[in-house]
Structures are given as structure tokens and as C-alpha cells.
Amino acid sequence: MSSKYLLTIILIGTITFSCKQSEEKNKTVDLTAEQELIFPKGQKITNNNFVGNAWVEMLVLADSVNRNSVGSVTFEPGARTNWHLHPNGQIILSLDGVGYYQEQGSEKKILRKGDVVKCPANTPHWHGASPDTEFIQVAITSRVDGPTEWFEAVTDEEYMK
């Protein structure tokens, strides 16, 4: 085998390896981009107003002038709030995943990235993740006329209906 030929073989090996490395690197970037969150996942919610695992990152707390609180909530698949209402309603911005939203007396709605809900005042409702996919949402809650009122848990029958 001539040295020229040997050198060529080594060159092919080097190019192929570099190419593979380059692809692997890009794959990693893709994965990171998909998983990149806008807001931190926050703290696990430990009160009894939720079924399943959910996390909240409070982005803004209400004060006496701007009486809105804003939080990013992440629901694990199957997790949901209990039934509850807000005296001034609530705004839900769906950021990622697949979620459920239901007002008392209405059918359950499926929420996906970009969907927005304006939940009416004093209307019992619940929201959470779908059974198979987590759900990330921003909740904007006005405290002008008082705090959230919490009710009973959403049963599995209500959740799956």
C-alpha cells in the first residue's frame, strides 16, 4: 500500500468522525431547545388544593395598587387543581404541553401552547394537565374583590369525562 493511499484512508476516517461529532453536537442543541423553559419550574405545591404533582413559580405578587398575582404553574400528567373560583376571574396563558380546563356546567376544553382562557368571575372551574402530557401555564389572578375560594377535588370520573 502506498503512503499516499494510506494517508487518504486516514483522511476519510477523520472526515467521517468529524461529521458524526458535528451531527451529535447539533442533536444535543435540538434537545436543549425543546426542553428550554421560559420560567423556572419553581416550588412543588404542597397544599391540599391540588390532586397530583404541580409546581409554581410566582412571577409577581399582588400589592395594594396592582392587585394582580402572576404565577407559572407546571402540572405533571394527571395533576389538576381542585374546583375553585376567583371573585375577579382569572386569565390562563398556555405555554407548553397539553392541559384541561373546565367550568362548572360546561364541557372540558383541551388547552395547547398559545391557548388563552379568560375564566369568568365567581365561576367554579378547574385546570390541569392531560393524562399523558404535562402542562405549563401562566395564571394571572386579580385580587381586587378578594382571594380565591377553594372547593372539593376533581374526581377521576370528572377528570376523564
Which parts of 53-72 interact with its own copies (CB under 8 A)?
A: 59-60, 65-68, 70
Give, as one character, the DSSP assignment of residue 115.
-
Nearer to its own copies, 21 or 155 (CB): 21
Which parts of 68-107 interact with its own copies (CB under 8 A)? 68, 70, 88-91, 93, 95
DSSP 113: T
Q: Cα separation of 65 and 151, whole Å?
A: 28
- Residue 79 contacts by C-beta under 8 Å, 6 or more apart in sequence? 50, 51, 52, 53, 54, 128, 129
| 3-class SS of residue 105 | coil
Residues that bind its own copies (CB under 8 A): 4-5, 8-9, 11-12, 15-16, 18-19, 22-23, 26-27, 29-30, 33-34, 37-40, 59-60, 65-68, 70, 88-91, 93, 95, 113-114, 116, 118, 120-121, 138, 140, 142, 144
